[in-house]
Amino acid sequence: MSAHPTATPSPKPRLLVRGALALELVPGTRPGRAALRQAEAGALAERIGHDLALLAPQAASLDLVLAGAHYDPAELLRPGWPLHRRLEELHARAPQAGGPRIIAFGADADGVVPLPLRAEPELQDGPLRVVPFLLVGDAAEVTAVATTFEEILLERGMARAETALAAQDGFAARIEHARYLTAYDLAAMMALQYANVGLDGLWTLLETALLVPQREAWLDAPPEPLLRYADGQVRAAAFDRDGWRTRYGPQENDDARIDRGFAHFQARQRQLVAILKVHGLDVEPVPCPAHADARALLGAGNG
């Protein structure tokens, strides 16, 4: 059946690619500036747009949206992708144009970054900083670009020298390497780093919250703390000394070794809870006394 001649055509479906310019700093240094001025952010966005089009020509037909500030990777890797979601909201409010747009957001005249895009000062000492961007456009074009990026960015995604220098000058930073990553590339990189320091079990919870938040995930691998992710929240088994001994050291009878083991467990649990909170996950402690079914208390089967 042919369409009615006065029918309004349906808009083409639009998708997006979440990405970042990753800046690897010289060890022991940190950027001197938290954000670029508006004009500087626009100039950097132009260079980034050119780089991305060289890597995937169809990127030139997409809108590019850039936050002219740098963040810790954990600020980007949070459930719901809040930094990219904020860019998506700002993109939706930007004036329409006849062709692809480059939209950049920088600091105001006083150098202040708007609060929703302001990096957390307590996370500014890491060796890797990320500058988030979005590519937005018609579904077919975005899919083609995303496919190309998945194939080449990890191996060939270095920024051009002039782009890296613009970022270095703008952020007053000493940059060793500047490269492009999708958000999923960054997640894969962080997964390897977490595994290298014995946090691969914790990453399972973080990855679930990021990529399949409707699912449930557990860290249930003694001597690690017992954690459960479900419904956007993590519940942590808060064992007392006797509860810890029941689960982790039932054969131990030496009080001094029990005390040391329990203290080590508590320190490890504080470490894991702090990492989860940095990634934007709330953690609810659940008291678990001796001989209680800790998994049942954390809500097994209710996610």
Q: How buried is 291 (Cβ within 10 angstroms: 0-12 exposed, 13-18 middle, 19+ buried)?
A: exposed
pLDDT at 9: 40
Instruction: Let me know: does 32 contact 173? Beta carbons within 8 Å.
Output: yes
Sheet with 128-138: strands ordered across: 102-105, 63-67, 128-138, 14-25, 175-182
* Digitized pLDDT (tens) for each residue of the chain, 303 residues in all: 333 333 334 445 678 999 999 999 999 999 999 999 999 999 999 999 999 999 999 999 999 999 999 999 999 999 999 999 999 999 999 988 788 999 999 988 777 787 778 889 899 889 999 999 999 999 999 999 999 999 999 899 999 999 999 999 999 999 999 999 999 999 999 999 999 999 999 999 999 999 999 999 999 999 999 999 999 999 999 999 999 999 999 998 999 999 999 999 999 999 999 999 999 999 999 999 988 999 999 985 444
Residues forming a β-bridge with 23? 129, 178
Compute the radius of gyration of the chain from its Cα atoms: 23
Do 299 and 230 form a contact (C-beta atoms < 8 A)?
A: yes
Contact by Cβ (8 Å): 90, 65: yes
Top CATH class, 198-297: alpha beta
d(CA 13, CA 194): 36
Report d(CA 209, CA 8) in Å as an integer. Answer: 39
User: What is the b/e burial string over 91-113, where b = at least 16 CB atoms within 10 angstroms of the residue's CB?
Assistant: beeeeeeeebbbbbbbbeeeeeb
- Domain boundaries, given as residue ranges, for the chain: 14-194, 198-297
Q: How far is CA 222 from the centre of its chain?
A: 28
Strand locations in the chain (E): 14-25, 63-67, 102-105, 128-138, 175-182, 217-219, 227-230, 233-239, 282-288
